[in-house]
Amino acid sequence: MANYNVLSLSAQSIWVQAIGFGLTHLARTNPGWSYLILSKEEEGIVPNLYILDLTANTDIDVQALPVVNSRLLVLVHAYQRRLIKKLQQESRCSLLCVDEHFLNFREIIESSARHKRFMSPFIRELLMQQPVPVDEIKLTETESKVLKFIRNGKNGVEISQALFRSQKTISSHKRNIMRKLGVSDDLGLKQKILAMEESAR
């Protein structure tokens, strides 16, 4: 029987609980495999994985991390791009984006067992993206206004009311913006907007 020990270095959070549920499912589907989530180090038990929830942080001193290898799984949100890049560049920790809908817990376990760094799919994609220079994208005046509203979280109805245009016209402008930015859906558009804002800083 294989025992897998997980030490949570953070106060109990919804994300640590979610990992517990994922591990429970993994244990149910793999007879002979079990896990234990610890809230503090116990004598005689060596953790296979350490979990650190940084979803509420904006910055961290990487040198102050309690564990600096791939067995440390750091939980982050998709919008914490600076923190993600800093952790990727300055440490060897594994990174998990809690905003992803599907997580492969088996891959997380296998990576930590092999002392291999785990990066969730969103983080891998984020790190491969090149910043988009804002001045290279040619938008019309109205498309720029629509993009500004989208950046501020407005939906099509709100934008059409603010610009005194029909929703169909706003949708057409949004499709043109998406085509010019090379994205095909709203998630891709939001990611591209965040990348543009990041490159403008």
The fold of the 2-128 domain, in CATH, is Rossmann fold (3.40.50)
> What's the pLDDT at 95?
94
pLDDT tens digits for 130-171? Answer: 655 555 678 899 999 999 999 888 999 999 999 999 999 999
**Does this chain's domain 2-128 share its CATH topology with 134-200?**
no
**Dist CA 147 CA 115 (whole Å):** 43
Burial letters 88-120, b for 16+ CB under 10 A, else e: beebebbbbbbeeeebebeebbebbeeeebbbb
Q: Is the pLDDT of residue 80 over 70?
A: yes
| pLDDT value of residue 142 | 93
> What is the value of pTM for the model shown?
0.66
What topology does CATH give the domain 134-200? Arc Repressor Mutant, subunit A (1.10.10)
- Domain extents in the chain: 2-128, 134-200
What pLDDT score does 143 carry? 92
For 91-126, the pLDDT digits (tens) are 899 999 998 888 888 898 888 888 899 999 988 888
